[in-house]
Chains A and B, each alone.
Chain A
Amino acid sequence: MFTESQTILLSLLIPFIGAFGIALAGRWPNVRETVTLTTAVLLAANVWSLLPVVYAGGRPELHFVDMLPGLSIAFRVEPLGMLFAALASGLWIVNSVYSIGYMRGNDEKHQTRFYVCFAIALMAAMGIAFSGNMLTLFIFYEVLTVSTYPLVAHKGDEATVRSARVYMGILLGTSIGLLLPAMIWTYSLAGTLDFTPGGILDGKIAEPLVGLLLLMYAYGVGKAALMPVQRWLPAAMVAPTPVSALLHAVAVVKAGVFTITKVFVYIFGIDFLFSQPSHRLVIWIACFTIVVSSFIALRQTNLKRLLAYSTIGQLSYVVLAASILKPLSEVGASMHMMAHAFGKITLFFAAGAIYVASKKTDITEMRGIGRRMPWTMAAFSVGALSMIGMPPTGGFISKWYILGGAIQDDNYLALATLVASTLLNAAYFLPFIFAAFLYEENVKPKKDHGEAPWPMVVALTTTALLTFCFFLFHQPIADLEAQILLK
């Protein structure tokens, strides 16, 4: 129907036009929500139509405009970006269904602004996924930061705005202060910023500058939440839960680790980077982040903050996997992006459902809640198992690949970290789940409640099922992602 280049362009235009449509339909909530859902479905259909092409080895391109000599705004779809775009656009449908339940069930204000910003954030995510060079990626990266600010500051009171400022301050500060100079440095060395299989920096930079550039990229991409630039993520938890679910468990944070993986694979090139000792630095930072964030999560009682710290750790899994630089682990990195997305969005959906039904946010008050909300808590359990990495959930698969890569590399630090993290994850998820199902209710809710509104239950059940399905049907995805190793 459309050529491949047109499909790429449409992936940006559909959510953009959708945002306008949502704004125009603001006065009629039912029309507005219809526009959101239609936009989401159209976008997913459009993005997925590229899947067979990329799977068969095609790399659709779209050249937009030359911004500077040798530097253009251009798009090129490759397996990593394809996966990210397919994931984000697909989950947007589920998340929109959930949002309708959540925003109405909660009587939130400014709903039109919420849906408009959401659509723009999705456009930015598509731009990041399909970008053909670092400059294009950077542009959409910043659009994503700015468009999510109103979502984080949604509630509008003093404390929320303060958190939102932390959010934007850290993300803008790291990207302008570190990522931008790293990019310009790369450009001055290589004369290009195109994502090229095999990398563009081979032989153009030597130790110890490689380490410096690597760190500038690792911390410049604040969205990957490596410690110590992770604070924006817990701060973003003041947002309504659908935002935390799709953006701060999938689109925004995955944009971060996606960018880092892309930089490793297509800017440095994994063979070149592997020959440089300083890539170990990133391994240490990722291991440190995994362990420390798990300990912090152990001490959280606010459910959403606990999930946020869990996310920080899980993001570092991806960074760790990418920085081991072995074939299995690179595939593992992309697999974990997907597995974690399904699991974590389920967890956030469940947290939001609990909040809408019972207004509870603290895990100490949630004993026995599994009896009132069995579907929700069952889905939560599936998500938690996936975080821990137990079969039969998606988390087991991706961990398998990452461990495989660590063994190929004889990397005992990574192995030990993964084992420790598994135990810690179990330590903060399992007691809560047991208490939710087995104990008597300790805090009476203000009014008697059962499950949350049905759109929310449908959404969280769907994502829990996806977590199962990923366990069973991951092979095509692994095959697709193995292509990133081709030169």
Chain B
Amino acid sequence: MTLYDQLPALLIAVPLFTAPIAYLLRAHGLPWAAATAAVVMTFIISCSIAATVIGGETIVYEMGGWPAPYGIVLHIDALSALLAMLVTGSSAAALIFGAKSLADEVGEEIAPSFFAAWILCTAGLTGMVVTGDAFNIFVFMEISSLSTYILVSAGPDRRALVATYRYIVMGTIGATFYLIGVGFLYMSTGTLNTMDLAARLGDVTELRPVLVAAGFITVGLALKAAIFPLHSWMPNAYTFAPNVVTVFIAAASAKVSLYVMMRIDYAIFYKNIPNHELQLALLLAPMAILALFAGSMLAIYERNLKRLLAYSSVAQVGYIALGIAMSSVAGLTGAIVHMFNHGVIKGGMFMAVACLALRYRSVNIANLAGAGRAMPWTMAAFVIGGLGLIGVPLTPGFISKWYLVLGALEQGGFGAFLVMVILASSLLAVIYVWKVIEVAYFKEPRANAAPIEGEAPLVMLIPTWIVVLTGIWLGINSYVPVTLATLGAETLLGAR
């Protein structure tokens, strides 16, 4: 066996083993360096895995050589590979970007534990997307959640603690629901391997516990994914977390829960519970439609820039949930592509916000008057991100909306309504993005406002623009995410 064959295991092992090392490094800057090195390495690994699975094959890796269903397997197909790239990529980008901003916000004395938590969070989220075991997903979910609580609570504002507390309560409920559901499944089938579950559920005659399991799992994951109206933990967690942490969790963490939802609801339940897609749609579609409107409206009336973007995320998660509810290849492709694209867009936007926060010492929109002139590169990055949220062509948001609308059109008369909903929400996005643009570009700063030092430092600007340009590239040539997402959607629906 070559090292190449061990890549799936290394994807989790590298960060898991780096975390304690980072905790022990006490010298200035070293914990950050260790974390960055580990995360960049996992990103490279996930890219090389993606290059393998884009041809359509699935990697099944048996941990310790124990075959499924007795041992634990890692199961990586196109969908997992895409999500792994998103998680590790956004983690790496945020860390590289955050060297200066974190030194500013997170004190030197807690740096070792902070970065250890960061690495664990990356490991947990990556584990969730690559594992082929339903209980293992729970374990990784807990690793990532606990470390995320630490990351959020490191925010400079004391309200971060209250936000974290709320997040802990809601997150724990979500994870517990998931575990209860998995327990019922284990009771009915005697297995935890996802492939095995899908195969054995067909033989189960007493469906009631399975239905209960489906209910618990779907609702629990919806809570973790912050699908409206289960989003209440999210806005404040995003707002009071350190800016760089927001970049990472906004890009990746809710997406992973949505990924698990797709996995369980499609790969396992879809084939085995009659009319499961209808039940799922009846639950998710109304929530998604409400999310699209409520999230956008809340964003329109929000004064704090970080919370505005958080509410916008509520709306954007709505798009993904809507795509999941469609249970068609086009709809699921749209949902999957949007998970990835929204990660890139929002990550870039929160980076721009972090740059603004560094100079303005405030993220209240009203204080940002004149930012267009004082920080032209930062604001340009923000505007391009905003265009992506709206779904303007040549941005990645256009690609995902294209597939979502295509999926909606397949739904007949109700689909026409969905098309209108999707487009109306895009127009609401115009309003909340424009609101920021108008203040930043067309309003004069107040006379007594402190002068701004100028553009953000290059160590922050360059990573920001790399992410922004990646976004534009994905908007022009979407071969990688679209191919992986289409493969993933077809696999989920059993069309392959």
A residues touching B (Cβ–Cβ < 8 Å)? 65-69, 73, 135, 138-139, 142, 156, 161, 172-173, 176-177, 180-181, 184-185, 187-188
Contacts and interface: CB of A to CB of B under 8 A. Distances in A.
A69 B393 contact: no
B208 to A, nearest CB: 39
Contact of A69 (B392, B394, B442, B482): B482
Given A67-B399, A180-B423, A135 B393 contact: yes
Interface string B412-440: 00000001000110110010000000000
A265 B331 CA distance: 31
Nearest to A185: B409
A185 B416 CA distance: 10
B409 A139 contact: no
B279 interface: no
Given A67-B477, A68-B402, A188-B410, 7 more contacts: A173-B427, A176-B427, A177-B423, A177-B424, A181-B405, A184-B405, A184-B419
Interface residues of B, number: 23
A135 B442 CA distance: 32
B153 to A, nearest CB: 40
A161 B437 CA distance: 13
A208 to B, nearest CB: 13
Contact of A139 (B390, B394, B410, B423): B394
A187 B406 contact: yes
A62 to B, nearest CB: 15
Interface of B: 390-394, 399, 402, 405-406, 409-410, 419, 423-424, 426-427, 430, 442, 476-479, 482
Q: In the complex, which of the residues A69, A156, A180, A185 has the most CB atoms of chain B within 10 Å of its own CB atom?
A: A180
Please report whether the interface of chain A is mostly helix, strand, loop or mixed according to DSSP. helix
Contact of B399 (A68, A138, A142, A185): A68
Which 10 pairs from chain A and chain B are nearest by CB?
Answer: A139-B393, A184-B405, A181-B419, A177-B423, A188-B409, A65-B477, A188-B406, A184-B406, A176-B426, A185-B409
A177 B405 CA distance: 12
Contacts of B424: 177
A181 B442 contact: no
B427 A67 contact: no
Given A68-B402, A172-B430, A177-B427, A142 B479 contact: no
Contact of B442 (A138, A161, A184, A185): A161
A61 to B, nearest CB: 19
A65 B409 contact: no
Contacts of A180: 405, 423
12 contacts: A65-B477, A66-B477, A139-B394, A176-B426, A176-B430, A180-B423, A181-B405, A181-B423, A184-B402, A185-B409, A188-B406, A188-B410
B482 A68 contact: yes
Contacts of B390: 176
A187 B478 CA distance: 17
Nearest to B438: A161
A65 B478 CA distance: 10
A185 to B, nearest CB: 6
Contact of A184 (B394, B409, B427, B479): B409
Given A139-B394, A185-B409, A67 B419 contact: no
Contacts of B482: 68-69
Nearest to B394: A139
B171 to A, nearest CB: 36
Given A68-B399, A184-B402, A176 B423 contact: yes
B393 A138 contact: yes
A68 B478 contact: yes
Nearest to B431: A169
B264 to A, nearest CB: 29
Contacts of A68: 399, 402, 478, 482
